[in-house]
Amino acid sequence: MSLPTITADGRGSAIPEAEFDELLAQVTAWVEGPGEMWAERIEREESVPDALWHELDDAGFLALAAPRDLGGRGLSFVQWMGLMEVFSRSHASVRMIVHVLNGTWRAMNPYADDLQREQFVRPAVAGKLRVAFTLTEPGNGTGADITSSVRREGDTYLLTGRKHLITFGVHCDYWLLFARLEGSTGKDGTVALLVDRATPGVVVEDSSQTMGVHGTDHATLTFTDAPVPVAHRLGAEGDGLRVALGGFLTPSRISVAMSCVGLAQRAQQLAVEYATQRVTFGRPLASRQAIAFLLAENEADIEAAKALTLTAAQAWQDDHDRAPALSSMAKLTAVDMLTRVTDKALQVHGGIGYWKTMPIERVYRDARAQRFEEGTNEIQKTVIARDLFERAARP
């Protein structure tokens, strides 16, 4: 029997079902045990201790999605989504760590040369390098309208511009940053660069004071003629947005959609537990049709979003040309589902759910961040509509 071809982004890789089931049980046990203790500590201290990073790394959780030839566990993308569903029931910062660390290699590896693969990709997969995806700008969108620019002087690019909302941008080792060649316009002038955190000419502002997802650091970055070796460019000049959108954003949007599913499942679990335990007028809340119907609606909502997300995951794994549009459909559908589910779950708790002593309060806050992670709903609708009209115009 011939082995499946494994592409640079890991498509074709997979592990046996029995091995996956064992891994799923391991992740579930961690999320429901140590993960809950870490969640309490993160909320209390509003930071992610280095010890958590080390624990996740030691457990092998930061190298699950990468193929074995890069040092990863070799899961298929669909298998990886099965684990993301579970990780997302934990604290949002735990989910963010495993989501990002298991994803940035996808953007880098297809465009890396052999030296870059050894210098950046393998160490990132091994958890030895933290690479922050650095696309969003305060005065622009997250696509061909970026204005951060570079001009080339010999073997060096001089980088000038601003980035913001950069997850792990404060404490990373490198920024995987997207800019454009000075004087260019459109996607064909963009470049992808690995910028050392210690590069001179960079000002890093910690902007981590967020409504939810406590503990995950975020940065605003200002670059003024910051020198970046040309050897740190991934791909050719003009490949920048291809590195960002194809290698990272499409699978990442599917991963965020599955994160919504997992977090919604956690909200539903908390609501069901409360409804069966809380007694009013001599009867548990679960016996009241109004409450039962809310939870029934939640269950159907969750399963529908999960099915679409798995469809998108399979499309990306199969390299189907509709994967980008399906990823946006999944993300759009899942975040709207999560909004409805968490709102109803909090309502089931009544007033007590608004207190920080209740786990649903944190879930409710964390859920709101998913509405703009990897692009707002409006961006997703733009991607979907473009695909729709392009297909309609085909003969």
CATH assignment at residue 53: 1.10.540.10
Q: Tell me, yes or no, whether 259 and 361 share the same domain.
A: yes
CB distance 185 to 174 below 8 Å = no
Q: Is the pLDDT of residue 212 over 90?
A: no
Quick one: tokens of 99? 């989501």
Rounded to an integer, the average pLDDT of 253-274 is 98
Q: Tell me, yes or no, whether 247 and 389 share the same domain.
A: yes
User: How many domains does the chain divide into?
Assistant: 3
Q: Which residues are part of the catalytic machinery?
A: 374
Quick one: tokens of 347? 């309502």
CB distance 128 to 71 below 8 Å = no
Q: How far is CA 274 from each of CA 9, 186, 268, rounded to the nearest angstrom?
A: 43, 52, 10
Q: Identify the band that residue 3 occupies on the pLDDT scale cut at 50, 70 and 90.
A: very low
Residue 237's pLDDT is: 96
Residue 187's pLDDT is: 82
**pLDDT tens track for 130-141:** 999 999 999 887
Of 224, 239, 254, which one is at a domain's C-terminal end?
Answer: 239
Residue 1's pLDDT is: 35
Residue 188's pLDDT is: 86
Q: Tell me, yes or no, whether 226 and 155 share the same domain.
A: yes
CB distance 118 to 260 below 8 Å = no
Q: Flag the least confident range among 37-41, 107-111, 213-217, 356-360.
A: 213-217
Q: How many CB atoms lie within 10 A of CB 29?
A: 12
**pLDDT tens track for 297-353:** 999 999 999 999 999 999 999 999 999 999 999 999 999 999 999 999 999 999 999
* Enclosing H/E stretch for 131: strand 131-134
Query: pTM of the full predicted structure?
Result: 0.92
Q: Identify the band that residue 8 occupies on the pLDDT scale cut at 50, 70 and 90.
A: low
Q: Tell me, yes or no, whether 303 and 375 share the same domain.
A: yes
**Residues forming beta bridges with residue 156, ordered by sequence position:** 153, 229
Within the chain, residue ranges assigned H as helices are: 17-32, 34-45, 50-58, 77-87, 92-101, 104-108, 114-116, 122-125, 240-244, 250-277, 289-317, 323-349, 359-369, 377-393
Helices (H) and strands (E) in the chain, counts: 14, 10
Q: Identify the band that residue 4 occupies on the pLDDT scale cut at 50, 70 and 90.
A: very low
Distance from the Cα of residue 147 to its chain's centroid? 24
Of 193, 218, 239, which one is at a domain's C-terminal end?
Answer: 239
Q: How far apart are CA 383 and CA 233, in angstroms?
A: 27
**pLDDT tens track for 373-392:** 888 999 999 999 999 999 99
Q: How many CB atoms lie within 10 A of CB 2?
A: 4
Q: Tell me, yes or no, whether 267 and 381 share the same domain.
A: yes
Q: Is the pLDDT of residue 255 over 60?
A: yes
